[in-house]
Structure 1
């Protein structure tokens, strides 16, 4: 068992560098369904170290829960005592390592409290998490960098019209302007702007992200008239070319390993533009990142352009196993103060992704906390 716990004098007992841990208790809270693969990578780590996996999710049918050893109740992020509940669960279940995604900023701001109880975090510093949570603040922090494409932010109809006028010369048939929230996950809210309405082929085809300019203006005008607050919206040119995600394991601003994944339609490859891992490492240093992060690039004017930086593991992180590295396990070792060993990814693997089947064992089973409480005569969870 990892020994980084409070001793009787209240002092943290950290493991000596280089000392092998015998077993690790790891908790991953609410995240993408593909996190099921990360749990399997942790379980089948190359060091052969036994792990006990905890997961929590608001959806009882999440495959994360099926892949873990124990299910914890997922604290509600919007509750004022969210972090206190996270701390209590870590203490109650003797969690060695926590990888927070839901409520990451709140956890990061209380990182010192997790250290006190002996739970290591796989998480960047709070300041970086907060900046990177907003695409506009990310671009502002990189003002003057050649990686930042032209962009504007609008939260009123007037600002939207001004943004369109400023970027009009960049709007072409092949590369339209796009509209997206400055804060969001994945492609949620991303729309391609069109000067005309849909044609018959568009109406009969699959639903897509195309939206007419007049439709957007009408929606914004209606929101203003109704007194509805309009969230900050980013207007920018569509960034063409293949998209490359660089998955990075970082330690206090230093890149320990960077694995690029490039997708072009269905085709995917471990690799891509050889400049991108270096550019990702520079961004990791600039924001003093730590843990598992993801940097996404496309291109603008035939040069690399930053799409976004995620302060959390990407949904496709499991694909890096094709490079011969186990980034989730390496992140656990780094969090515990251990040497992650040689991390030499092999590039070049071509692949596609397909859906898979995950068996759900008793999806309605109550979380482990509820079961423990029910089994305790006093009604209080046992230690």
Structure 2
């Protein structure tokens, strides 16, 4: 089976390595493309190619179909333009290529925007934090006043964001020079933020939310069209350098099952949770492998192999997960490829 991973996040290296551990080179050939020649993921692939950096939308979709046909791809595992590719499975079906999509195009589009996602989510499926979406300073001020009545701390995050970019805790006491001198991270002075908003009459949707100050979990999952096949909870230590623990929180297990079924999730995906004053709350669903995917697979569950078994229609044997296991990652120096 020839499996192609197009341009995506660097975390795909862990997926490639775990696939290689589960199958010989006679069974699968791992093909990776990126827009630059020194991509670290190339080190874990059998075949590496450069893809055009200037193609998007329909132009990129056409290129993907042509690439699959030219390189005799059996399974396409998309990163870039995943929603568009999900909406066009038929183009790949006619040339005999199976596409691994985490969800249909409407769900992938929904998950991309957290304001839309939170509004869509039913409390019977999962619990979320209190939030208000805003687009100008008047709405922001009103949201802060409303949420402050019930929550001691508030935070903000863009509705469209990855890797926590743009997340800040609202600081009502200190100014930015104090933050800089004291090395305060992920906080922003409320009054200075408000002043900046006065200079920007309208801005992209920003979520004002209750701040969840407790433990965080990252759950790496494998599904098959709404059926949860495996899930590994990584409980993060609040102390830097103290690693993570393979956990088995029953409430999180229940929410992961319901979310997988509700959104008919498929393949490899990641769901994040955090504890607040009112209990565990859902943060987001990432329709892709997480940055800690490799750590999750140390638990005894080779999630990439399970996903491949599901794709091939094979019976998936339940993994024996080592709960309580402490895991971490280390940096390893490598010589980068140069195509």
Structure 1 spans left out of the alignment, 5+ residues: 1-23, 366-383
Contact 2:228 2:260 in 1 (8 A): yes
TM-score (norm. length: structure 1): 0.81
* Whole-Å separation in 2 of the counterparts to 1:340 and 1:357: 35
* Whole-Å separation in 2 of the counterparts to 1:115 and 1:60: 30
Tell me what 1:276 maps to: 252
Contact 1:270 1:347 in 2 (8 A): yes
Shift of 1:47: 6.9
* Whole-Å separation in 1 of the counterparts to 2:158 and 2:8: 20
* Whole-Å separation in 2 of the counterparts to 1:128 and 1:35: 22
Shift of 1:204: 2.4
Contact 2:176 2:189 in 1 (8 A): no
Contact 1:270 1:322 in 2 (8 A): no
Contact 1:122 1:292 in 2 (8 A): no
Tell me what 1:86 maps to: 64
Shift of 1:34: 2.7
Contact 1:27 1:55 in 2 (8 A): yes
* Whole-Å separation in 2 of the counterparts to 1:283 and 1:99: 22
Contact 2:272 2:285 in 1 (8 A): yes
Contact 1:257 1:344 in 2 (8 A): no
Shift of 1:199: 7.4
Shift of 1:272: 4.2
Shift of 1:186: 1.1
Tell me what 1:17 maps to: none
SS at match of 2:22: coil
Paired residues in the alignment total: 333
Q: Quick one: structure 1 residues 199 and 152, their matched pair in 2 at CA, closer, same or farther if it must change by over 3 Å?
A: closer
* Whole-Å separation in 2 of the counterparts to 1:49 and 1:325: 23
Contact 1:30 1:102 in 2 (8 A): yes
Tell me what 1:286 maps to: 262
1:83-103 deviation per Cα after TM superposition (whole angstroms, max 9, x unaligned): 111111111111112221221
Larger of the two Rg values belongs to structure:
1
- Are residue 159 (structure 1) and residue 132 (structure 2) matched? no
* Whole-Å separation in 2 of the counterparts to 1:197 and 1:242: 25
Contact 1:25 1:97 in 2 (8 A): yes
Contact 2:295 2:328 in 1 (8 A): no
Shift of 1:231: 0.9
Q: Quick one: structure 1 residues 242 and 135, their matched pair in 2 at CA, closer, same or farther if it must change by over 3 Å?
A: same
Tell me what 1:65 maps to: 42
In angstroms, what is the RMSD of aligned CA positions?
2.1
Contact 1:131 1:138 in 2 (8 A): yes
After superposition, where does 1:168-207 map in structure 2 within 5 Å?
Answer: 168-172=148-152, 176-198=153-175, 202-206=179-183
- Are residue 97 (structure 1) and residue 75 (structure 2) matched? yes
Contact 1:246 1:277 in 2 (8 A): no
Tell me what 1:375 maps to: none
SS at match of 1:278: helix
Tell me what 2:99 maps to: 121
- Are residue 328 (structure 1) and residue 328 (structure 2) matched? no
Contact 2:11 2:289 in 1 (8 A): no
After superposition, where does 1:257-276 map in structure 2 within 5 Å?
Answer: 257-265=230-238, 266-276=242-252
* Whole-Å separation in 1 of the counterparts to 2:292 and 2:230: 16
SS at match of 1:187: coil
Structure 2 spans left out of the alignment, 5+ residues: none
Tell me what 1:52 maps to: 29
Tell me what 1:238 maps to: 211
